[in-house]
A and B are shown apart, each in its own frame.
Chain A
């Protein structure tokens, strides 16, 4: 199975700053099959990005995704207070679907 490793484990930033989250795959995956989710405490995950760079419906344009092969990045250009949450990447190109262990974005 493909292992996704996210870094850093925790990222402490202030509102207005730029956040860069990394997701590295143990094998190359097509960019088509990489997604990012946001999860707030006590809530279900929410799809943010799919196909590595396509924003899901209703997702603000401060969220962007990029990458290919084994290295993918989620960037939040200017952090808003509601962006502090846990972020997961998911690959769905090869069975089984797998998720990264998550990056917690907290307020500095």
Chain B
């Protein structure tokens, strides 16, 4: 079955970087894109970035632009999200989700299990 499995939780200090992985299985990786969505504790969903696994095109939310990089390794069907210059308000569960290969705007299905990133002094 189609599945996205993410790396484990992280605790980082302000100003540090974090890199979260998302390994896909059960489908042809390069036929889709991967979006990243975060959810702060007790809050709603916020889209932060997208990559086409087909051609590597990316799109990022303005709020994190300049601090986020999303990449893929097609040899292992894995997507990565790196967030630099971490701030307290980056504390959230980060989800990867399968989307379109053509654009960031698409329905997201399925989702990974989520990775909790805590920014703490």
Instruction: Enumerate chain A interface residues (CB-CB to B < 8 A).
Output: 33, 35, 37, 44-47, 50, 56, 88, 90, 92-102
Contact = CB atoms under 8 A, between A and B. Distances in A.
Given A33-B105, A35-B107, A95 B59 contact: yes
Given A92-B107, A94-B105, A97-B35, A44 B114 contact: yes
Interface of B: 35, 37, 44-47, 59, 61-62, 95, 97, 103-114
A46 B111 contact: yes
Given A37-B108, A99-B46, 7 more contacts: A35-B107, A45-B37, A45-B45, A45-B97, A88-B45, A99-B45, A100-B44
A96 B60 CA distance: 8
18 contacts: A44-B112, A45-B95, A45-B111, A46-B109, A50-B109, A90-B108, A92-B105, A95-B103, A95-B105, A96-B59, A96-B104, A97-B47, A98-B47, A99-B37, A99-B44, A99-B46, A101-B44, A102-B44
Contacts, number: 62
Contact of B47 (A33, A35, A93, A99): A99
Contacts of A56: 107, 109
Contact of A44 (B103, B105, B106, B113): B113
Q: What DSSP secondary structure best describes chain B's contact surface?
A: loop
A90 to B, nearest CB: 7
Contacts of A46: 109-111
Among A35, A56, A92, A93, the one with the most B-chain Cβ atoms within 10 Å of its Cβ is A92
A7 to B, nearest CB: 14
Contacts of A33: 105
B107 A50 contact: yes
A101 B65 CA distance: 22
A95 B45 contact: no
Nearest to A47: B109
B48 to A, nearest CB: 9
Contacts of B103: 95
A29 B51 CA distance: 23
A9 to B, nearest CB: 11
A45 B37 CA distance: 10
